[in-house]
A and B are shown apart, each in its own frame.
Chain A
């Protein structure tokens, strides 16, 4: 996830990470963390702080004014037992969610030309 500001809308954060706002805080599955001090008056989230509380890492490129959010650190590579939503490209360049093919068992195979 790349942002051009140090804040992020809750909807964007949810789309990128799955963590979403509930009454008890920011939640993913059965985990919830408090959001006090994370939410600005306009409802946006402080990127560094929400990342820290949800175990995510952030790198900042000062020169280009960019932030990149990485996956959860010190946690299993798979954040869930379920195949995550993942947008990839088909041959025509269309965005396709990997979950489109659920309904049958799947072998997902990665290869590369390099």
Chain B
């Protein structure tokens, strides 16, 4: 999808740069290889984009002008239709059905987002950089600590072993429950079998508290799953 958008946006002098977030880059490589992308594709193995840019979930994006000034801070960026109109298969196990039901409640905003992106492309409609900085939101002390805890856990995962990351990642999850990137990353490493495609249900999360469905319900549902966003 982003390859198509890059082709469309190039004529307006916009480059798409995609960043796959995963502590193991080989988890991103198959998707990058299949994408046929001609735009730059990078991998963030340290979740550095969470601390520096505010990418606490995916899909999220940011707009930058030609002088390197951020004119739209990290925001939810749906570019494909939501789940609302898709029929739910019959006979699903209750937890999978629950996930479908949660996803179906998401407001489909992809056309709204694409319109905003195209307005910026064609007419330059975006925020003033100072307004964009303000709109990036205030990071609390707990949220900042969570970023440090995640980095420490990731460092230990590489230097000591996967078990060494657990206490620090649990702490990161506790300090910032809205850093879904930190939670989904940790859960996926537990729930995905070696060599298998990522288990998106993320149910049996082993040493970690919570799971995707219960945690989304705990924050009040899918409407609160991404940071509040206006484009």
Q: Tell me the nearest residue of chain A to B200, going by C-beta.
A: A114
Q: Give the residue among B21, B164, B192 with the most A Cβ atoms within 10 A.
A: B21
**Across the interface, which residues of B come within 8 angstroms of A99, CB to CB?**
68
Interface: A112 (CB within 8 A): yes
In the complex, A76 Cα to B52 Cα: how many Å? 11
A109–B42 touching, CB < 8 Å: no
Interface: A15 (CB within 8 A): no
In the complex, A107 Cα to B64 Cα: how many Å? 6
Q: Quick one: given A73-B139, A74-B138, are A114 and B156 in contact (CB under 8 Å)?
A: no
CB-contact partner of B66 in A58, A73, A78, A105, under 8 A: A105
In the complex, A82 Cα to B71 Cα: how many Å? 9
What total of chain B residues lie within 8 Å of the partner, measured CB to CB?
Answer: 85
Query: A-facing mask of B23-46, CB < 8 A → 1, else 0?
Result: 001011101110000001111110
CB-contact partner of B17 in A64, A70, A109, under 8 A: A109
**Across the interface, which residues of B come within 8 angstroms of A82, CB to CB?**
68-70, 129
Interface: B103 (CB within 8 A): no
Interface residues of A in 31-75 (CB under 8 A from B): 56-59, 61, 64, 66, 68-75
Interface: A9 (CB within 8 A): no
User: Across chains A and B, which 5 residue pairs bring their CB atoms closest together, nearest first?
Assistant: A70-B148, A114-B188, A81-B129, A73-B144, A68-B152
The chain B residues found within 8 Å of chain A, CB to CB, are: 2, 5, 9, 12-22, 25, 27-29, 31-33, 40-45, 48-49, 51-55, 58-70, 73-74, 77, 117, 129-130, 132-134, 136-141, 143-149, 151-152, 155-156, 160, 164, 168, 181, 184-185, 187-188, 192, 198, 200, 202
